[in-house]
Amino acid sequence: MSVSKCAHIYVLTLLVSALTFAGSASSQTAAPSWQWTQLNPTTSLPARAAFASAYDPISKKVIVFGGTDEVTQFNDTWAFDGSTWTQIETGVSPPARADATMAYDAQTHKLIMFGGFQGFAFLNDTWLWDGATLTWTQAQPTTVPTGATNPSLFTDPVNGHVDMFGGYQGRFYSRSMYQWTGSDWLLLNPSTTPYPRAGAVAVHDPVNHNVVMFGGISDNWIVQNTWTWDGTNWTQRQPANQPPPLYFTIGAYHPAIHQVVVFAGGSVGVDQNTTWVWNGENWYQESPLASPPPRELFGTVWYPPTHQFLIFGGDLFSNRQLYNDMWRLPSK
């Protein structure tokens, strides 16, 4: 079991008897035809959790790196092309790791991956994925953020670079924020910053021209608040409805419904399989006719070539069950 996971489990143990779900149960009823559907790719992603993943618009593939099966940490690269998963053999590869995070930089047209852990080491290296050549390159920034697991990486809504917020640094949870300039990490100093956290969901919302961040886990509580980043500053939002405290989940913007969709994640030691949407002002729980099993530490992307909202992999906290399944959420 990972170092960071052990720390998070300890926090959960302290909280599970004291913290109650404060999120509203209010829901927005989904259209009857809206349901999760399991896909059957020709080749599946090997069962794993805590991997880095993102959609690469250059290669038009979903890219996955690393992760763990709770025994081994991997350093392999996999790609999904809309029908099957394929392992990509690269001449140079990042070291094996779990709990790293990855996002697309629209200025450099590369995926940026940072952090994670290997064994007992918290990693602070930065790797660039080039979708044109299907290769990894280690960056050599002058400014090196502290090694961390599960930081939030997302595309900046103003300039398209990758921003990074928070993460777990071994003893503390961070609220530091950096921006990838294309060659270096630039420390940002917004006047307002969210509480320290790791494992939050942070999604670029192009309709509202910001990034919405929810949840995560921190030093002595599980976070249940909503923030938006406009490229200059953070603003805490006060929606009428919120999901329960969630962590180790990610979401994606669903262009067909013009909303951010968040599925599953851990919540006070119990993994969920609920579907929530953010419309720019409020959270609503949807009620699909069918849903994937509960999970955390999985992957979520919008896959433009086939207009599919996808989730894949992850594990179930209660019994460490690993998944290699894949599900899609079509338009309503």
CATH code at position 293:
2.120.10.80
Residue appearing with tokens 């003893």? 171
- Using the predicted structure, report yes or no on whether residue 211 has a pLDDT greater than 60: yes
Whether 129 has a pLDDT exceeding 80, the answer reads yes
pTM of the model: 0.90
Confidence of residue 22 (pLDDT cuts 50, 70, 90): very low
pLDDT value at residue 34:
83
Mean pLDDT (whole number) for 77-101: 97
28: β partners? none
Cα dihedral 110/5/227/53 (nearest 10): 20
Indicate whether 273 pLDDT > 70.
yes
**E-strand stretches of 29-141:** 37-38, 52-56, 61-65, 77-80, 85-88, 101-105, 110-114, 117-118, 121-122, 126-130, 135-138
Percent of the chain topping pLDDT 70: 90
- pLDDT tens-digit map of 139-176: 999 999 999 999 999 999 999 999 999 999 998 999 99
**Predicted confidence band of residue 7 (pLDDT cuts 50, 70, 90):** very low
Label residue 141 left, alpha or beta by phi (over 0 means left) and psi (-120 to 50 means alpha). beta
Asked whether the beta carbons of 66 and 72 are under 8 A apart, the reply is no
Q: What is the pLDDT of residue 30?
A: 39
R_g of the chain computed on alpha carbons: 18
pLDDT higher than threshold 60 for residue 206? yes
Domains contained in the chain, number: 1
Contacts of 202 (CB under 8 A, 6+ apart): 152, 153, 154, 165, 211, 212, 213, 229
Give yes or no for residue 220 having a pLDDT over 60. Answer: yes
Query: Where in the sequence is the domain holding 54, given as residue range(s)?
Result: 3-329
For residue 23, the model assigns a pLDDT of 38
